[in-house]
Chain A
Amino acid sequence: MESQAISMKGNLDEQHDLSRARAAPAPTVSRETRGQTVGELRSQSARMRCTGVNVFYGEKHAVKNVNIDLGNNEVLAMIGPSGCGKTTFLRCLNRMNDTVSGCRVTGEIVMDGKDINARGVDVVPLRAQVSMVFQKPNPFPKSIWENVAFGPRIHGLAQNKVELDEIVVNSLQRAGLWNEVKDRLHEPGTGLSGGQQQRLCIARSIAVHPEVILMDEPCSALDPIATARIEELIDELRENYTICIVTHSMQQAARVSQRTAYFHLGDLIEVGDTKQIFTRPQHQLTEDYITGRFG
């Protein structure tokens, strides 16, 4: 019910918006449209539901009143020009912004009926549940095995070495890296190629059996072949996980995601079915961005 009401409201705003945007096609968001997103904000089966999320870096209002759902077994792509707040928003979802001094997050992010920003929520189990893959591959300067085993070991997911080995092998297999590294598990993870390192980081994330995987431009440092391999992997992982990916490549968003969100200067402008966003965007800004007029 609620989600429908919001999408109705969104639709109304969108018409109002479109006329304004067409009249003034400059890529700025007018004051009145702030925080009023067009499209399908809510999902049928939401894994995480964000309501009125704002992020401030000191005085700077980096993310403005974002409302969005992350659906189960769905890849949500977040696109938008640099500095539009998509990475900042992604980092709210497992509270990585806690580590940034001067950063303040308001609003509600509900998962399993609980607000993850609430007082007393422990970030350690949260991050085991919502794990993150970063823009630059960042394996630990330790062996491949150690890289993957670290998470399960600190969380006590394995009773003994055999179980731990099993988790490591399984994770590497699911990350599609097993065949390439099975003979050199005890060599440093930093000796792998960029694409392999990123898959190692993905293996490290899935080794703790998270429910949501956040990916921050995971392919921006990779060549097209490694990118294709990771996109394939994302598609496979969707079976079991909820994935949220930030990307600068619209082709990538179109290929891997089911839903796409477009951010602009801290505002979430439009959310919707990926096909619809790329073929029939409702908002002028979205259209300008995906057709390459700016950004």
Chain B
Amino acid sequence: MSNAAATSAAGGGAARRHVDIVMAGMARRRAAERRFRLYGRIAIGVGLFFLVVLFGSIVSNGYSAFWQTELRLDVKLDASQIDPQGGRDPAILGRADYGGIIKHRLREMFPEVHGRRDRIALYGLVSNGAAFELRARVLANPSLIGQTVSLWVPADDDVDMLMKGKIKRAGPEKDRRLKDNQLRWIDQLKADGRLEKRFNVNFFTRGDSRDPELAGIWGAAVGSFYTLIVTLLLSFPLGVAAAVYLEEFAPRNRWTDLIEVNINNLAAVPSIVFGLLGLAVFINFFGLPRSAPVVGGLVLTLMTLPTIIIASRAALKSVPPSIREAALGVGASPMQAMIYHVLPLAMPGMLTGTIIGMAQALGETAPLLMIGMVAFIADIPRGAFDPATVLPVQIYLWADSPERAYVERTSAAIMVLLAFLIAMNLFAVMMRKRFERRW
């Protein structure tokens, strides 16, 4: 049909008006447009679907980690046991046998339990951390000595998993983590209202631990914080200075072309290579401490620099040349034109690039494995030179641990990391909106 139209238009001339030819093709054009829009929607739909699945699985796995099963013990703090001299000396108070007090209390609660094996099973219901919590409580407030205090202590991770329905009661006893007598005690405690799920403060305040019920994200979060501070302090000034020089001042020649190509190449280098470089240079050659955020920050700086340089150069390029000319036209030196006029206009773009680079650095694991930030570190780092780990490495460590309770903690740690990333990206958007200027 379109063929006929073409021949009649070509041959007949006046037989058909041009608008008819245009109209004949319209249906096809509209269909193509509709089809294209549909493809776009399908693409976005698929993307959103996977995003929802991802977030859904993480949240559904991880939300339970924000609650922890705890056990209420009414402990009698006997002065003769804790502070025999009565001097309230912290050194003596710290050395008392708090584990013994808790075990004693458990034996009182279940007087029918006899025999070494059964008693060990009974003590196993309470976390190893319970004694430390009791000790901390007494040291903070020695006036409690002599009284009977009601104390919530974390239950063992197996008890926690049972309470959350993650491990089953059924099955042969020898295959189960919790034996029949333990299940009986748990039921009794639950009936007494001594066992319940409470908000998991430990998860947000403690460092890593071999006991899942005591393991927290705070150590890794602080490690990430120090690492990112070092990265930001180094990579932002270096990146911006490099971008400004290359874009505004450097002559265009073979050398600057070579530098430009290599910056782009650097952006594509696998991050683990930067880790090996950091190990060889910063630790082996310069002798900086292993596992320290300062080395992690240096390595991530190398990795983030190309991102920041490329984004900053793009931001500088987008500043209209008329602004530079205006400044030069009244006799500003190139440096003054740069600092007073071009840099403020390019700043939002530079900041966005930097924060995206930082977000990338926050999520980076591989190079940090190489420099020893994968070690088990239970203490909260107190500076950039203390041994530390970071959030993504913590996730990796927990995902690798055999205990069932680490599964939900892994997902919870991912949620914390994602929250940080989303917050940083929102901050980037806000900065851009805030500093954006029209001209």
Q: Which residues of A line the B interface, CB within 8 A?
A: 94, 96, 99, 101, 124-129, 131-134, 136, 138-141, 150-151, 154-155, 190, 201, 204-205, 207-208
Chain B 322-340, CB within 8 Å of chain A: the 1/0 string? 1111111111110010001
How far is B329's CA from A139's CA once the two chains are assembled, in angstroms?
12
Instruction: Check: B438 CB closer than 8 A to any chain A CB.
Output: yes
Q: Is the CB of A190 within 8 A of B438?
A: yes
The reply to whether A127 and B324 contact each other, CB–CB distance below 8 Å, is no
Complex CA distance for A101 and B247, rounded to whole angstroms: 13
Bound: A139/B341 CA distance, A = 11
* Residues from chain A with Cβ under 8 Å of B437 in the complex: 141
Q: Pick the contact of A150: B320, B340, B438, B439 (CB < 8 A).
A: B340
B329 & A94 in contact (Cβ 8 Å cutoff)? yes
- Chain A, residue nearest B332 (CB): A154
Q: A127 and B323 in contact (CB under 8 A), knowing A141-B345, A190-B438?
A: no
The interface centre, meaning the residue of B320, B324, B326 with most chain A CB atoms within 10 A of its CB, is B326
What secondary structure prevails in chain B residues at the interface with A? Answer: helix
Can you list 20 A-B contacts with CB-CB less than 8 angstroms, sorted by A residue number?
A: A99-B324, A99-B325, A99-B328, A125-B331, A127-B329, A127-B331, A128-B331, A129-B331, A132-B329, A132-B330, A136-B322, A138-B323, A138-B325, A140-B327, A141-B438, A154-B333, A154-B336, A190-B439, A201-B326, A204-B330
Is B433 part of the contact surface with A, judged by Cβ < 8 Å? no
Kindly state the separation between the CA atoms of A132 and B327 in the bound complex, as whole angstroms. Answer: 10
Chain B residues within 8 Å of A101, by CB = 252
Question: What are the residues of chain B within 8 A of A190 when measuring CB–CB?
Answer: 438-439
CB-contacts of B311-328 with A (<8 A): 320, 322-328
Q: Which of A99, A131, A136, A141 contacts B330 (CB 8 A)?
A: A131
Q: Which of A96, A126, A136, A140 has the most CB of B within 10 A?
A: A140
Contact A150/B330 with A101-B252, A190-B438 known, Cβ cut-off 8 Å:
yes
CB–CB A127/B325 < 8 A: no
In the complex, chain B residues whose CB is within 8 Å of the CB of A154: 330-333, 336, 340
Report Cα–Cα, A136/B439, bound state, in Å: 12
With both chains docked as a complex, state the minimum distance between the C-beta of B53 and any C-beta of chain A, in angstroms: 45
Asked if A150 contacts B324 (CB within 8 A), the reply is: no
Inter-chain contacts of B328 with A (CB < 8 A):
96, 99, 127
Q: In the complex, are the beta carbons of A127 and B326 less than 8 A apart?
A: no
A64 vs chain B, min Cβ distance (A): 25
Instruction: Point out the residues of chain A lying under 8 angstroms from B439, CB to CB.
Output: 141, 190
**A150 pairs with B322, CB closer than 8 A:** no
Nearest neighbor of B320 in chain A, beta-carbon distance? A138
Write the residues of chain B forming the contact surface with A, with a CB cutoff of 8 angstroms: 252, 320, 322-333, 336, 340-341, 345, 437-439
Question: B residues within 8 A CB of A139?
Answer: 326
Q: Do B326 and A138 have beta carbons less than 8 Å apart?
A: yes
Give the complex CA separation of A150 and B328 in angstroms. 11
Q: Which residues of B contact A125 (CB under 8 A)?
A: 331
For residue B252, which residues in chain A have a CB less than 8 angstroms away from its CB?
101
Q: Is the CB of B331 within 8 A of A140?
A: no
Given that A140-B341, A151-B331 are known contacts, is A134 also in contact with B438, CB under 8 Å in the complex?
no
Compute how far the CA of A48 lies from the CA of B325 in the bound complex, rounded to whole angstroms.
22
When the two chains form their complex, are residues A155 and B331 in contact, meaning their CB atoms are under 8 A apart?
Answer: yes
Closest residue of A by beta carbon distance from B326? A138
Shortest CB-to-CB span from B310 to chain A, Å, is 21
A190 CB → nearest B CB, Å: 6
Q: How far is the CA of A131 from the CA of B323 in the complex (A)?
A: 15
Q: Given A133-B329, A134-B322, 12 other A-B contacts at CB below 8 A?
A: A96-B328, A101-B252, A124-B331, A127-B330, A134-B326, A138-B323, A138-B326, A140-B326, A141-B439, A150-B327, A154-B332, A154-B336
Task: Report chain A residues within 8 Å CB of B325.
Answer: 96, 99, 132, 134, 138
Cα(A136)–Cα(B252), bound, Å = 28
Chain B residues closer than 8 Å to A204, beta-carbon distance? 326, 330
CA distance A155 to B327 in the complex (A): 12
Closest B residue to A136 by CB, please name it.
Answer: B322
Least distance between A11 CB and chain B CB atoms (Å):
37
**Residues in A neighbouring B438, C-beta threshold 8 A:** 141, 190
Q: Is the CB of A96 within 8 A of B330?
A: no
CB-based nearest B residue for A98: B328
Residues of B near A128 (CB, < 8 A) are 330-331
Nearest CB of chain A from residue B246's CB, rounded to whole Å? 14
B26 CB → nearest A CB, Å = 39
Q: In the complex, A99→B331 CA distance in Å? A: 13
Q: Given A140-B341, A154-B336, A131 and B329 touching (CB < 8 A)?
A: yes
